[in-house]
Structure 1
């Protein structure tokens, strides 16, 4: 079974996400949108097309809970259900919920250092 296929996004906490986004826009050229992040698209011309997100969250966000870090990495996966089942069989701390939306399917695992890791199966067209 293929597990991780790429990085889907990098998310982190900030005391002032708007100011931080402006700094990244002004100094590094990121096209930070109203939702607080940017989307890097890649692929095409015969290779798989996809995207990687960059986004700052408010310092008090609960999105990364129960992880203990100020960041979270989102990995692209080919088959979320199969991977979550394999991780459970391997004794990993897999969170009991998954989310399904027009953006795809999401699940989470906590690594040995307490970091919440997001696993994302994109919709078929991405």
Structure 2
């Protein structure tokens, strides 16, 4: 079974997400959107199309809980259900919920150092 297929996004806490987004836009050229993040589109001839998301979150966000780090990495996966089942059978700390949206399906696992990891099965065309 194919597990992780790439990095889907990098999320991190910021004291001033909007101000930080403006700094990244002005100085590093990121095209920060109205929702506060940036999308890096990739893929070309012979390569699957996709995106990687860059997104600052408010310092007091609870989105990364139960992780304790100030960041969370989102990994692209080919088959979320199969991977979550495999991780559970291997004794990993898999959170007991998944979510579905227009972007695809999401699940979470916490690594041995307490970092929450987001697993993302993108919607077709993402």
Instruction: Tell me if TM exceeds 0.5.
Output: yes
Is residue 104 of structure 1 aligned with residue 104 of structure 2? yes
Alpha-carbon offset, residue 47 of structure 1: 1.4
- Other-structure match for 2:41: 41
The one-character-per-residue Cα deviations of 1:15-39 (angstroms, maximum 9, x if unpaired) are 1001111111111110111101000
**Mapping of residues 60-99 of structure 1, within 5 Å:** 60-99=60-99
In structure 2, stretches of 5+ residues that fail to align are none
Q: Distance in 1 between matches of 2:124 and 2:14?
A: 32
Q: Distance in 1 between matches of 2:125 and 2:12?
A: 27
CA RMSD of aligned residues (A): 0.7
The one-character-per-residue Cα deviations of 1:48-93 (angstroms, maximum 9, x if unpaired) are 0000000000000010011000000000000000000000000000
TM-score scaled to structure 2, two decimals?
0.98
The one-character-per-residue Cα deviations of 1:98-119 (angstroms, maximum 9, x if unpaired) are 0011100000000011000000
- Other-structure match for 2:125: 125
Alpha-carbon offset, residue 14 of structure 1: 0.4
Alpha-carbon offset, residue 12 of structure 1: 0.2
Query: Any runs of at least 4 consecutive aligned residues in structure 1 with deviations exceeding 6 A, and if so which?
Result: none
TM-score scaled to structure 1, two decimals?
0.98
Question: What is the aligned residue count?
Answer: 126
